DNA sequence: CCTACCGATCGGTAGG
DNA sequence: CCTACCGATCGGTAGG
């Protein structure tokens, strides 16, 4: 216990993770070398290996700490005891803000998840599913017709699509910033979901569908 | 002109591009080796270099032919002379179908565009901007309040977010396929956009905003 | 002398 | 925490 790690050990790890997240986001995980990470951090490559076991360790830490922060946001909003629509708007607002300040980690989570080993992917995607479920539950509560038509999860993913995709094209400028985008997304989503209809039963070319076909077919 | 290329030369190129698109989508562009591409095609690596100059040539062809197909879809729908809402629904339906059958190329376009050299990125992103402009123009026509608030392009990008993101999470199953998702996206979007409001003027910490602040501040 | 490839190996660089 | 390296594999190309 005496001596312990150098004072800045955890700080150094955080700094490395920040630089690595930016580089992975900009060049992809396989397209980033450990030399590049070391250089960005002002460290030698061997020094890097003092803080992290290997390149893969960086990837897992970036993805996992980000998704855990998102789960924390969900828990915090759930604890506020808001009505469903305000809860959903609160979630959207917090997520947009979090993505804006952790945009590199978020891009790594969404684009480099394919490089995770099964055991890590399972754990991280499991946390992701819990986050999605919190949104889907609120959506099913707000719009029962969507929940009953099994559309709560697909609809939730359309919402995540709008938010996630923002960070691939949106550059804050004089007219619009991230904070301003959140209510636009929320208004569009909350205004549109009431109009979503369950799709007709899928066409079954040979045998008749379980439920009655449309008049034309009969 | 006599003899010319072997009968299957163009077919072989198409087959290579399809395999390369799948591998790039699954492992990323830097994470895919030319040996893997060759093996997937049942060719030796030198044979691959008979059809394409280098690995980068594959990337450019995959991205460019995909975005050119999308531009063609836009042109076809424009030629139908539909009313704005039907035109937008037609665009959404065609794009979802095209993405579904070209999902690997689409993923390469969206995730590996960062590996394009400036001259290629400029050309390909230019075509992409033309596609986005076609959607944004229809949206501005349908909902003038959105066009006047300079929100046509951001709103268009939210629509693309829903559609693009679908192909990262959606797996067609017994209950829902890609064809069924298109009208859900269209209903949500067309139902939601009328409720989108222009954001209030951005906060300017020191000097007063150009337009009147809210009552509380005054 | 062309094409359509093959087996083998090049110069460099990756992660470690 | 550095210089100096390794086993392997990368993208690309030689001779035949």
Interface size A-B, in CB pairs within 8 Å, comes to 153
Q: In whole angstroms, what is the distance from residue B65 CA to residue A124 CA? A: 35
Q: What is the pLDDT of residues A30-56, one digit of tens each?
A: 999 998 999 899 888 888 888 999 999
Residue with tokens 């994470």: B31
Return the closest nucleotide (C1') to the Cα of B37. D11
Question: What's chain B's Rg over C-alpha atoms?
Answer: 22
- Taking the CA atoms of residue B35, residue B40, residue B45 and residue B51 in that order, the dihedral angle to the nearest 10 degrees is -130
A26 touches B at CB < 8 Å: yes
DSSP element (H, E) containing A67: helix A55-78
Question: Are the beta carbons of B134 and B66 closer than 8 angstroms?
Answer: no
Q: Calculate the angstrom distance between C1' of D2 and CA of A61.
A: 27
Strand D, nucleotides covered by protein (CB < 7 Å): 1-4, 9-15
Name the residue of chain A whose CA is nearest to B33's CA: A30
Q: Determine the Cα angle at B129 with ends A103 and B154, to 5°.
A: 50
Work out the percent of chain B whose per-residue pLDDT is above 70.
89
pLDDT tens digits for A59-104?
Answer: 999 999 999 999 999 999 999 999 999 999 999 999 999 999 999 9
pLDDT of A105 above 90: yes
Dump the DSSP string for A94-158. Answer: HHHHHHHHTHHHHHHHHHSGGGS-HHHHHHHHHHHHHHHHHHHHHHHHH-HHHHHTT-HHHHHHH
The answer to whether A152 and A58 are in contact (CB under 8 A) is no
Q: Which segments of B79-196 does DSSP mark as H helices, in order?
A: 84-101, 103-111, 118-142, 144-148, 152-169, 178-192
pLDDT tier for residue B52 given thresholds of 50, 70 and 90: very high
Residue in chain B lying closest to A26 (CA): B114
Inform me whether the C-beta atom of residue A172 falls under 8 Å from chain B C-beta atoms. no
B183 has a chain A CB within 8 A of its CB: yes
Q: How far is the CA of B45 from the C1' of C10 (A)?
A: 14
A197 in B contact zone (CB under 8 Å): yes
Phi first, then psi: give them for residue B45, nearest 5 degrees: -60, -45
Q: From the centroid of its chain, how far is CA B38?
A: 27
Collapse the DSSP code of A24 into the 3-class scheme (helix H, G, I; strand E, B; otherwise coil) and give the result. helix
Residue scoring higher pLDDT (B177 or B186)? B186
Asked if the Cβ–Cβ distance from A183 to B192 is below 8 Å, we say no
> DSSP character for A194?
G
The alpha carbon dihedral of B193, A142, A124, B33 has a sign of: negative
Signed CA dihedral, B50, B51, B54, B55: sign only: negative
In this prediction, residues B6-20 reach a mean pLDDT of 85
Lowest mean pLDDT among A124-138, A198-212, B13-27: A198-212
- Altogether, the residues listed in chain B come to a count of 218
Is 80 exceeded by the pLDDT of residue B217? no
Among B157, B184, B202, select the one facing A196 at the smallest CB separation.
B184
Positive or negative: CA dihedral A32, A96, A144, A204: negative
Domain boundaries, given as residue ranges, for chain A: 54-195
Architecture of domain A54-195: Orthogonal Bundle (1.10)
Q: Of chain B residues 47-106, which have a CB less than 8 A from chain A? A: none
């Amino acid at each position: 216990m005496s001596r312990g790690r150098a004072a800045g050990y955890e700080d150094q790890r955080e700094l490395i993770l920040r630089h690595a997240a930016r580089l992975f986001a900009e060049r992809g995980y396989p397209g980033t070398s450990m030399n590049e990470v070391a250089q960005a951090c002002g460290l030698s490559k061997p020094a890097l290996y003092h803080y992290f076991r290997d390149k893969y360790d960086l990837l897992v830490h970036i993805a996992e700490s980000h998704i855990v922060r998102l789960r924390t946001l969900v828990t915090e909003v759930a604890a506020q005891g808001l009505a469903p629509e305000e809860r959903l708007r609160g979630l959207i607002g917090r997520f947009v803000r979090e993505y804006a300040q952790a945009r590199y980690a978020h891009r790594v989570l969404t684009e480099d998840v394919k490089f995770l080993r099964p055991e890590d992917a399972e754990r991280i995607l499991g946390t992701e599913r819990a986050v999605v479920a919190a949104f889907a539950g609120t959506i099913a509560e707000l719009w029962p017709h969507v929940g009953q038509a099994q559309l709560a999860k697909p609809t939730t993913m359309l919402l995540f699509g709008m938010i996630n995709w923002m960070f691939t094209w949106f550059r804050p400028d004089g007219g619009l910033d991230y904070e301003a985008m959140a209510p636009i997304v929320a208004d569009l989503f909350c205004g549109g979901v009431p109009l979503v209809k369950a799709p007709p039963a899928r066409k079954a070319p040979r045998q008749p569908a379980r439920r009655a076909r449309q008049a034309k077919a009969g």
